[in-house]
Amino acid sequence: MDIFVVDDERIIAETLAIILRNHGYSAETFFSAEHALASIGKSPRLLLTDFRMGRMSGIDLAMEAHSRIDCSVILFSSDLQECDREWQMLQKRDSRCTLLRKPLHPARLLQQVRLSLSTEPRLGLHVS
């Protein structure tokens, strides 16, 4: 499995997965962090997740996933200032994470997915 797409807004998760599949990636959608975590044994190479969701946030999902598997993470949010403190904490633990602003333009998303899945060393980016 290439990518887990996680968003509690079903239309966003499904749309992102369609974009990824149309560009040759295998993508599985989840509508909660808990459901994605329950399937983490499938070892996705990339976790693409909304920052803010129900009971479990994208940050919580990223940290828990990293304790179980080796994968990159792209988090996205419409309010980057709101998530700044949690983002800084995650960056200190793991630089394989990237933060993108919603709405996600398909070209920018695909560019970041390619970077995140590359075998070159990755640095987390805070993209406005």
Q: Is residue 128 part of a domain?
A: no
CATH of the domain at 58: 3.40.50.2300
**Cα(48)–Cα(20) distance, integer angstroms:** 11
Q: Is residue 59 part of a domain?
A: yes
Q: What's the domain range around 84? A: 3-117
Q: What is the DSSP letter of 40?
A: G
Q: Is residue 122 part of a domain?
A: no
Q: Is residue 93 part of a domain?
A: yes
pLDDT per residue as tens digits for the range 57-69: 888 898 889 889 9
Tell me the average pLDDT across 89-103: 70
* Mean pLDDT score of the chain: 83
Cα 47-61-104 angle, rounded to 5 deg: 45
How many domains is the chain partitioned into structurally? 1
Going by pLDDT thresholds of 50, 70 and 90, the confidence category of residue 124 is very low
Q: Is residue 28 part of a domain?
A: yes
- How many whole angstroms from its chain centre is CA 122? 14
Going by pLDDT thresholds of 50, 70 and 90, the confidence category of residue 126 is very low
Tell me the average pLDDT across 20-36: 96
Q: What is the pLDDT of residue 86?
A: 61
Residue type (1 letter), 87: W
35: tokens are 């459901």
Is the model more confident about 110 or about 80? 110
Q: Is residue 125 part of a domain?
A: no
Q: What is the pTM of this model?
A: 0.84
Going by pLDDT thresholds of 50, 70 and 90, the confidence category of residue 127 is very low
Q: Is residue 57 part of a domain?
A: yes
Q: What is the pLDDT of residue 91?
A: 60
